[in-house]
A = this chain, B = another copy of it.
Amino acid sequence: MALDRRVRRTRFAIHRALMDLMLEKGYEAVTVTEIIDRADIGRSTFYAHYTDKRDVLYASLDELAGFLRAHRDDGEGLFGFSLAMFEHAHEQRLLIRALLGRRGGTVVRDRIAYVIGELVREQLVAHNPAPAIPLDLLVAGVVGAYMALLARWADGDEPHTPAQLDAAFRQLVTPGVAAALGPGRPG
């Protein structure tokens, strides 16, 4: 049995309101009161569904997580999600800027980094469960570089294409990762 229609409507309205507002002012600057007004729901209703602004964000980012998982094994070799994500970011530039730009927030970045980190870790472990660089550091470094490229692109004026970004990411990170994973060539 699906959710009560009212619940579906309410949650969607909230989700939609958060997205819209983020596009306008970035995640950090959005307030619960604004979400309520925009979604045109009662205050108590909001808190009946979510505890926080953060809570809404997490729910909304589940979509992104699904997207990334779907593209996990794109292309050849590691980091299949990379190009797809850059392309997605390119289409949704405003949204990505709202999420990752200066007006984003630690919460957003950390969450996205976490989601991507899971993917990266899975792939790295599959190739070598005990790499030369401690796994947690390796994952952190790779994801850190990726997120930084994404953020820089979202915030800056440079019109890099998704392919350029993907290439930059791979050129920067792949040699070090390959070395850390050892001789066995990842396919």
Contacts and interface: CB of A to CB of B under 8 A. Distances in A.
Interface of A: 28, 102, 104-106, 109-110, 113, 132-134, 136-138, 140-149, 151-153, 156, 158, 160, 164-165, 167-169, 171-177, 179-180
A144 B49 CA distance: 35
A148 B138 contact: no
Q: Which label, helix, strand, loop or mixed, suits the secondary structure of the A interface?
A: helix
A144 B148 contact: yes
Given A143-B148, A173-B176, A164 B102 contact: no
20 contacts: A28-B106, A104-B106, A113-B148, A134-B160, A136-B158, A137-B165, A140-B149, A140-B151, A141-B145, A141-B172, A141-B173, A142-B145, A142-B172, A143-B148, A144-B145, A144-B151, A171-B176, A171-B180, A172-B176, A175-B176
Contacts of A132: 171
A147 B109 CA distance: 13
Given A102-B110, A138-B172, A144-B149, 10 more contacts: A102-B106, A106-B106, A133-B168, A134-B164, A137-B164, A140-B148, A140-B149, A141-B169, A173-B176, A175-B175
Contact of A168 (B106, B141, B169, B175): B141
Contacts of A147: 144, 148
A39 to B, nearest CB: 25
**In the assembly, how many copies of this chain are there?**
2
A10 B49 CA distance: 46
Contacts of A156: 136
A174 B174 CA distance: 11
A116 to B, nearest CB: 11
A110 B104 CA distance: 11
A167 to B, nearest CB: 8
